[in-house]
Chain A
Amino acid sequence: MQGYRQAVWEEPLIFELGLKGRRGFKIPELEREIVDSIGEFRLPESVARREPPELPSLSEVEVVRHFTRLSQTSYGVDLGPVPLGSCTMKYNPKIALKYAFNDRLSSLHPLQDDDTVQGLLELLYRLERWLEAVTGMDYCSIHPAAGAQGELAGGLVIRKYHELRGNLEVKKEIIVPDSAHGTNPATGTMAGFKVVEVPTGEDGNIDIEALRSTVGEGTAGFMITNPSTLGLFEERILDIIEIIHSVDGLVYYDGANLNGIMGRARPGDAGVDILHLNLHKTFSAPHGGGGPGAGPICVKDRIVAGSVKLRDLVPGFKIVYEESTGKYMLEGPGQYSVGLLRAWIGNVSQLVWAYVYIAMMGAEGLREAGEISVINTNYFLAKIKRETKMYTVPYGRDRHRKHESVISAEKLRDETGVTAEDVAKGLLDSGFYAPTVYFPLIVEEALMVEFTESETRENIDAYVNRLKVIEEIALKDPGEPKKWPLNTSVSRIDYVKANHPKTVTPTWRVKVLRDKGLLGPLK
């Protein structure tokens, strides 16, 4: 990696720019006849706005410059590696942009008649079938807006399953491993369950005896991420699923880490009942600085009661293909469905993106993507073990990782006071994005690294070298890393001021009112 200096613009807020009277977009002129026909503009007094909103006034060139400058103090995969663990920040192929965000798609209203959007329904239908083949599940639905919404869909399906079986009074608990993504326990709560955690053993697998003693009549379901957030495949997955099924609990699989087994194993074959996928992770849709995502839910054809299967419980609209007419139709949600999680079919742009990606990769390409992501991870880890002194590898030290690895800066902290956060800032200074830090919670000073298949060997080598340099600096001059980052647009940020009730500023409006003395502390 070459040297790095991020742009520094000291760009004012949009509210501080422009000049009254300027505008960046011309509204079409109203035809004279319309004004003549309707007369004066009028609204009932009680709802007519007294003061126009305090929006800025800028010309088009000012707006484009402002946001282009802001883009120059941002960082994405197009600039360099973003090895955030569990985020699977792949390259986003540009060919997909052409089809996912275009004027034709943009003009389609979600309530248009099915017969006007047959091509699109065909695409979405085919995408669902492909995802079924990738996961080994019986039915996938593209409804949920993001991974967490896919999880919520799954949590609600678990709830409905027990309700329809008349067991909801008893089935009150969702079990999650202590290494789980925060969304898992949060989902359990949102779906109305009590959340119970089970510990991880030294080998990185779930402590199966602890699980056995936790599981009981009250177990509604179990949420598992496999490979786990440690990047380790759960070796006793089949036993675990059997334990959960033995009490009529459902097994939920968090697909955030699917890249780690893609092409080599399928959660559906292991017997999981429900899962979600993150198309903005495993299937290359861009992450947009935090969204949009797309989080399809997939289920097995487990019988709920009578002829009702899990697929009947899934929220959202069903795309149905009628062979006799060759037509695609939207149906539902049906009578057993948990309902809708958003008003419309799905995040279609992201779905089109993933479709283009899968179509171009095919089964073979996806397998290669999975394999190289695993090779990249283990290559990184081998070099870390061999070439560095202060980074340790907790849990199952000698086991191979899958899509990601977690290393710990605990030893570095203990000996030099330099923390995972300092290491992260040191990485920023060389033009790399940092790994996920302080997660999973079961690892002290965690650095969770996922290069995906998109990263070059040269960049992985450079990343390791940079970690080595940081280690050397920390040993020589432990005060130095506390000053990092130096090459980004700003230095370290004041989080106390950011969050203090007297200074917390979530909007420009708060700043203006507070400066005028019109706003007290946030009580």
Chain B
Amino acid sequence: MGHPWIPNSVESVRREMLEIIGVGSVDDLYSDIPESLRIKPEEWDKLPIGFGRVLSEVEIARHMEEIFSKIESYRGPAPFMGGGVWPHHVPEAVKYVVSRGEFLTAYTPYQAEISQGLMQALFEYQSLIAELLEMEVVNGSMYDWSSALGEALLMAIRVSSRRKFLVPETMNPRHRKVAETYIWPHDGRLVSVKVDRRTGLLDLNDLESKVDSETAAVYIEYPAYTGVLEENASLIGDIAHRRGALYIMGVEPISMAILEPPGRLGADIAVGEGQPLGLGLNYGGPYLGILAVKWDGELVRQMPGRIIGLTSTVDGKDKAFAMILQTREQHIRRARATSNITTNEALMAVTAAVYLSLLGRDGLVELAKHIWYKSHYAAKKLSSIEGIKAPLLEGEFIMDFTVRLPLETGKFRSFLKSRKIMAGVPLEGLAWFTSRDLLLTVTEVHTKNDIDRLVEVAEECIRGV
């Protein structure tokens, strides 16, 4: 009996094909495998893979329902949680477009002439991000913000032959861990720069004292992991450049609609997380690493990953797209490639392009302001509760903000969870933060009622202490 996904599994077809090959049985096609390694079909079929037999759609549907029933889904608000990825609404038109098989089931566009639409969509992704960041060159995607950062640091090592990186002591701890993993084989090291405990801004004196001729790059987050907007972003770039260090900025793209972009603040390289641009949370991925550089050949030639370029057909008649500057890449340069990346997050880049096109210039600015208002409203309301300081850091913020509670975050979060609210990422272990410090997040998916309910439950929790 034929398997629905294996058209030639029909016994007669299989037999005829084997005859044309000139072998008696399929076993003969495996005869070059050393006998001690060969597994007999009846032994293989007993291995604990799947559920012991081929399942139908009817059966898998039952099974998956059971799996999903063991995932708690609250009717209440989306999690008040950020920390590098954030809950946002994904427009239906985005989901519709990117589920089309012509995109979903395509490979990397090695054959350009038959893949122009995909390449145009990727070029538009690069171009939309370029406008958002005001940086000239954007690659076709990295895995996520953290791995984009790791690659940016490796770029800086190759460009400068220096190995020290200055980073804020409050930087996203998971990004920090990834960055350390990427630079470890190349003797790179991260050195923390102090952050002001009152404002959450980088301590410029400490930065000045640490930037030296060994410094490959200075990195800041913008907005910071704590939600704080680094007011001295431009000055920090100047300090880095005076010592010959590169300036790398890590960004959240929606807030770029209202923030002065990295390209205007002196950034040489920008990285960031494209997840807010219509990707959903998906418990960890797939996400979208943004990587952009300014118009500088030395940096561009050190970029990792694919880049789609606009060109024309050989006859000059039509606009056309092609993978460009490929001599940086592993399939050409092998051991001397700028990175080993090949499969990236192309479909997520197309997703971001559709999202940015839908929201457009006005929509994105409006969304960023909307989030600014709501996060400020939540902080203000929470701060009216006796014992809560919100925001804990006084610098201007958007979307994420720090909160100091009068009790341990664990107790607070459990209490809220018992009221069907998931809230906050604990900050303990990061820089000077304590076990009573929480990172809270509010976006457009949280209504005023959701926020009021959060505040109400928080009050109830604290009164009960």
A and B associate in one complex? yes
Chain B interface category by residue count: 35 or more
- Is the CB–CB distance between A289 and B350 below 8 Å? yes
Q: Which residues of B contact A513 (CB under 8 A)?
A: 136
Closest to A432 in B: B114
- Is the CB–CB distance between B64 and A99 below 8 Å? yes
Residue from B17, B73, B448 in contact with A379 in the complex, judged by beta carbons closer than 8 Å: B17
Known contacts A289-B103, A376-B8, A494-B316; A54 and B131 CB within 8 A of each other: yes
Complex Cα spacing A273 to B110, Å: 33
Is there a chain A Cβ closer than 8 Å to B417's Cβ? yes
Near A by CB (< 8 A), chain B positions 360-391 give: 360-367, 369-370, 372-374, 376-377, 380
CB distance from B443 to the nearest CB of A (A): 11
Closest to A438 in B: B331
- Is the CB–CB distance between A343 and B146 below 8 Å? yes
- Is the CB–CB distance between B283 and A110 below 8 Å? yes
CB distance from B229 to the nearest CB of A (A): 5
> Which of A74, A185, A358, A439 gathers the greatest number of chain B CB atoms within 10 Å?
A74
Closest to B422 in A: A112
Is there a chain B Cβ closer than 8 Å to A123's Cβ? yes
Stretch in A39-47, A245-253, A408-416 touching the partner: A39-47
Closest to A17 in B: B357
* Shortest 4 CB-CB contacts between residues of A and residues of B: A192-B185, A119-B70, A288-B347, A78-B101
Q: Which residues of A contact B283 (CB under 8 A)?
A: 105, 108-110, 112, 117, 120, 344-345, 348
Closest to B341 in A: A148
Residue from A108, A152, A367, A493 in contact with B313 in the complex, judged by beta carbons closer than 8 Å: A493
Near A by CB (< 8 A), chain B positions 170-188 give: 172, 174-175, 177-178, 180-182, 184-186
CB distance from A291 to the nearest CB of B (A): 4
- Is the CB–CB distance between A506 and B137 below 8 Å? yes
Closest to B146 in A: A343
Q: Which residues of B contact A30 (CB under 8 A)?
A: 370, 373-374
Is there a chain A Cβ closer than 8 Å to B218's Cβ? no
Complex Cα spacing A220 to B280, Å: 41
CB distance from A427 to the nearest CB of B (A): 9
- Is the CB–CB distance between A25 and B363 below 8 Å? yes
Q: A52-B257, A289-B347 are in contact. List 17 more A-B contacts (CB 8 A).
A: A27-B366, A49-B256, A78-B101, A78-B105, A117-B72, A119-B66, A145-B143, A145-B147, A192-B184, A265-B30, A270-B37, A361-B50, A362-B52, A378-B29, A453-B5, A488-B113, A494-B313
Residue from B30, B85, B182 in contact with A110 in the complex, judged by beta carbons closer than 8 Å: B85
- Is the CB–CB distance between B230 and A55 below 8 Å? no
- Is the CB–CB distance between A148 and B181 below 8 Å? no
> Which of A38, A145, A523 gathers the greatest number of chain B CB atoms within 10 Å?
A145
Known contacts A25-B358, A58-B360, A346-B284; A493 and B320 CB within 8 A of each other: yes
Stretch in B86-94, B207-215, B240-248, B457-465 touching the partner: B86-94
| Bitwise interface map of A from 102 to 124 toward B, beta carbon under 8 Å scored 1, else 0 | 00111111111101111110110
Residue from A48, A87, A189, A453 in contact with B337 in the complex, judged by beta carbons closer than 8 Å: A189
Q: Which residues of A contact B116 (CB under 8 A)?
A: 73-74, 488-490
Q: Which residues of A contact B6 (CB under 8 A)?
A: 368-369, 372, 453-454
- Is the CB–CB distance between A107 and B105 below 8 Å? no
Closest to A4 in B: B114
Q: Which residues of A contact B147 (CB under 8 A)?
A: 145, 149, 341-342
- Is the CB–CB distance between B357 and A360 below 8 Å? no
Is there a chain B Cβ closer than 8 Å to A159's Cβ? yes
Is there a chain A Cβ closer than 8 Å to B282's Cβ? yes
CB distance from B286 to the nearest CB of A (A): 3
Complex Cα spacing A111 to B358, Å: 29
Near B by CB (< 8 A), chain A positions 1-56 give: 6, 10-11, 13-15, 18, 20-25, 27-28, 30-31, 33-35, 37-38, 41, 43-44, 46-50, 52-56
Q: Which residues of A contact B154 (CB under 8 A)?
A: 190
Stretch in B53-61, B161-169, B399-407 touching the partner: B53-61
Complex Cα spacing A24 to B356, Å: 9
Complex Cα spacing A148 to B123, Å: 23
Is there a chain B Cβ closer than 8 Å to A312's Cβ? no
Q: Which residues of A contact B332 (CB under 8 A)?
A: 182
Complex Cα spacing A317 to B177, Å: 12
Is there a chain A Cβ closer than 8 Å to B118's Cβ? yes
Complex Cα spacing A159 to B121, Å: 39
CB distance from B94 to the nearest CB of A (A): 9
> Which of B5, B118, B233, B281 gathers the greatest number of chain A CB atoms within 10 Å?
B5
Is there a chain A Cβ closer than 8 Å to B231's Cβ? yes
Q: Which residues of A contact B91 (CB under 8 A)?
A: 24-25
Residue from B13, B126, B358 in contact with A63 in the complex, judged by beta carbons closer than 8 Å: B358
Residue from B69, B102, B146, B233 in contact with A78 in the complex, judged by beta carbons closer than 8 Å: B102
